[in-house]
Amino acid sequence: MTRYMILIERQIGRIALRLQMIRMGIDACVTLSGGERHHLGAVAVAQIWESLTGEDKLSATISNITLPGHKEDELARKAAARLSAALAANVVVCCGIHLDNIALAEINETEIMVMDMMDELIAAINT
């Protein structure tokens, strides 16, 4: 059974994250938001294509758009790359997470949480 919409939420301390995925045919649109102010900070688009190696492998080109003053671009890029590789499909990730006075440990924890949520999403899609 294909799941067309999936919602995953996580919280550790003051880091509360929400991931929503909508399938668009074989492709996927993901919103990832959280913290104290949900918003749009960066968008990553992973476009799947046949690798130029000629070995019947897939590769992806990832493009980012980052709004001025935002730093979610690398997180959106990593999430899009992971999901695109797992689905062999085009993926867009819209990301906006804001925590006032965020500590380095919270930044690292946020990235771990997001990647764990992406793995959970992939598992949910594949079941």
Q: Is residue 67 part of a domain?
A: yes
Asked which of 2-11, 90-99, 100-109 is least confident by mean pLDDT, the reply is: 2-11
**Which tens digits make up the pLDDT trace of 60-88?**
899 999 999 999 999 999 999 999 999 99
In a domain, 49, yes or no: yes
Q: CA-CA distance, 74 to 32, in Å (whole number)? A: 13
3-state secondary structure of 52: coil
> Residue 126 domain-assigned?
no
Q: How far apart are CA 16 and CA 58, in angstroms?
A: 34
- Is the pLDDT at 4 greater than 90? The verdict is no
* pLDDT on residue 58: 80
HSE-CB of 31 using CA atoms within 13 angstroms: 10
Residue 19 sits in which domain range? 5-121
Q: If we measure between CA atoms, which residue out of 97, 126, 101, 113 comes closest to residue 32?
A: 97
- Is the pLDDT score of 14 beyond 60? yes
Arithmetic mean of pLDDT, 75-102: 96
> What's the whole-model pTM score?
0.90
Residue 101 is assigned to a structural domain of this protein: yes
Instruction: Determine, yes or no, domain membership for 94.
Output: yes
Q: How far, in Å, CA of 69 to CA of 88, rounded? A: 32
Residue 127 in domain: no
Mean pLDDT within 11-40:
95
Q: What sign has the CA pseudo-torsion 77, 125, 14, 106?
A: negative
pLDDT at 1 over 60: no
Residue appearing with tokens 């294509």: 49
Query: Count of domains in the chain?
Result: 1
In this model, does residue 100 exceed pLDDT 70? yes
Residue 70 lies in a domain: yes
The CATH number for 35's domain is 3.30.230.100
Question: Per-residue pLDDT for 2 more than 90?
Answer: no
In whole angstroms, give the CA distance from residue 77 to residue 65.
Answer: 10
